[in-house]
Amino acid sequence: MTVIYAILIFCVLILFHEFGHFMAAKLCGVKVNEFSLGMGPAIFKKQKGDTLYSLRVFPIGGYCAMEGEDEDSDDERAFNKKAAWKKAVIVVAGAFMNLVLAVLIMIGISFAAGTSTTTVDTVSEGAPAQLAGIEHGDTIIAIDGKEVDTWSDIYTFISTSEGDTVTLKLLSEEGTERTVVSGLMQDETGRKIIGITPMTEHNLWNSMISGAKNTWIMGVSMLDIMKQLFTGNVAASELSGPVGIVAAVNTTVSLGFVYIAYLTALISLNLAVVNMLPFPALDGGRLVFIILRRITGKAITDEMESKVHFAGILLLFALMIYVTWHDIVRFVLPIFS
């Protein structure tokens, strides 16, 4: 199952990324010579119009090969013949699609988990809430005179209360308002609680807000780690490549589908962020060249840019070898020791 899930994750992420480049290229009138999922020898090929669609053996990459992308071309539909803004759209589209995928997955996770409401679901036996007469279906309107809008408010108001009791304003299922006073108890962490759990609702709009918010938080955390990497606070040996991802999938499979989905969103967002770094051969590096060539005119030729990107590819391969070796030392060798 680890192998199956890992292959599916790789394929989905690559497909979304390259499909972004592909659709943007088509919309901008650029000729796409080949759209491939996977690398290495082809196991399936089909020519449709100007584009060859292929499926290749190794699910560790893919590409959208455009006319005039890395070389001079006289074809009017070539990438190098298009306006700078169209080139920029095509280059950014891959990372954008990975961002969209991450957000969609996080929305799906939020919708599946549901959103906690201010309505009581369960009341623990013998808990202060039960002794106070709080029942299933009661909606908490206010605590100690402070209006409640979300379950987070309930959590905060109770846990930070200063006295030995809290006063709750409730709305019953029948629509009757009443006020009760509940004592407090402590959970295993020492936090004040009254012994209730919330009902959850599966609201698409709330899930969209929550999914986008969680993706943003995940992205900020990712950028912070990259900052620490460049400042030396995080060692390059801590990076993970395909082997590390497979190891993470192996750990996640036993936890359930939601965790696998979360890992997929994390990797997809990581792919979007890393691809937009201003490094040669990456989409971010290509975007930098598009801007520079728009400013400098013909000072930078296609051949010069191609050589810089080729050098970038060599450096990325060197980094990949370094990262893969450390992944093998961390995750593979211990299995045989």
Gap between the Cα atoms of 163 and 157, Å rounded: 11
Name, in order, each residue with C-beta under 8 angstroms of 179's C-beta and a sequence gap of 6 or more. Answer: 167, 168, 169, 170
* Catalytic positions, written as ranges: 18
29, 68, 104: which is closest to 268 by C-alpha?
104
Q: What is the DSSP string of 188-225?
A: TTS-EE-SEEEEEE--HHHHHHHHHHHHHHHHHHHHHH
Q: Is the pLDDT of residue 11 over 90?
A: no
pLDDT band per the 50, 70, 90 thresholds, residue 221: confident
Under 8 Å between Cβ of 130 and 239: no
What is the structure's pLDDT at 337?
64
- Span 264-283, average pLDDT: 91
What is the structure's pLDDT at 166?
93
Q: Is the pLDDT of residue 230 over 90?
A: no
pLDDT band per the 50, 70, 90 thresholds, residue 86: very high
Q: Is the pLDDT of residue 95 over 90?
A: yes
| Numbers of helices and strands, H then E, in the chain | 10, 10
Gap between the Cα atoms of 236 and 317, Å rounded: 15
Domains of the chain: 2-113+206-336 (no CATH), 115-201 (2.30.42.10)
pLDDT band per the 50, 70, 90 thresholds, residue 284: very high
Indicate the residue type of 89: V
284, 263, 262: which is closest to 273 by C-alpha?
284
DSSP 237: G
What is the structure's pLDDT at 48?
93
Q: Is the pLDDT of residue 253 over 90?
A: no
What element of type H or E holds 147?
A: strand 146-147
Please give the residue that has the higher pLDDT: either 294 or 2.
294
Residue 262, both tokens: 């979360």
Please give the residue that has the higher pLDDT: either 254 or 178.
178
Gap between the Cα atoms of 318 and 321, Å rounded: 5
Whose tokens are 């108890």? That residue is 185
What percent of the chain clears pLDDT 90, i.e. is strictly above it? Answer: 48
What is the structure's pLDDT at 256?
77
Residue 216, both tokens: 């943003």
Under 8 Å between Cβ of 316 and 308: no
What is the structure's pLDDT at 248?
74
9, 14, 28: which is closest to 91 by C-alpha?
28
What is the structure's pLDDT at 210?
87
Coil, strand or helix at 120? strand
Q: Residue 14: how many CB atoms within 10 A of its CB? A: 22
Average pLDDT across the chain, whole number: 88
Please give the residue that has the higher pLDDT: either 321 or 45.
45
Q: Is the pLDDT of residue 147 over 70?
A: yes
Q: Is the pLDDT of residue 81 over 90?
A: no
What is the structure's pLDDT at 236?
66
267, 256, 273, 247: which is closest to 106 by C-alpha?
267
Indicate the residue type of 54: S
Predicted structure pTM score: 0.77
Phi, then psi, of 13 in degrees rounded to 5: -65, -45
Helix, strand and coil in the chain, % to nearest 5:
55, 20, 25
- Span 59-82, average pLDDT: 86
Gap between the Cα atoms of 18 and 51, Å rounded: 14
What count of residues does the chain have?
A: 337
Please give the residue that has the higher pLDDT: either 319 or 165.
165
- The per-residue pLDDT for range 101-128, each reduced to its tens digit, is 999 999 999 998 888 899 999 999 999 9
Gap between the Cα atoms of 145 and 298, Å rounded: 69
62 burial (CB, 10 Å; 0-12 / 13-18 / 19+) is buried
Beta strands in 83-127 (DSSP E): 115-123
Whose tokens are 């939020």? That residue is 110
- The per-residue pLDDT for range 311-331, each reduced to its tens digit, is 998 998 888 888 877 778 777
What percent of the chain clears pLDDT 70, i.e. is strictly above it? Answer: 97
Angle of CA points 10, 11, 12, to nearest 5°: 95
pLDDT band per the 50, 70, 90 thresholds, residue 259: confident
- The per-residue pLDDT for range 176-213, each reduced to its tens digit, is 999 999 999 988 888 899 999 999 988 898 899 989 99
pLDDT band per the 50, 70, 90 thresholds, residue 94: very high
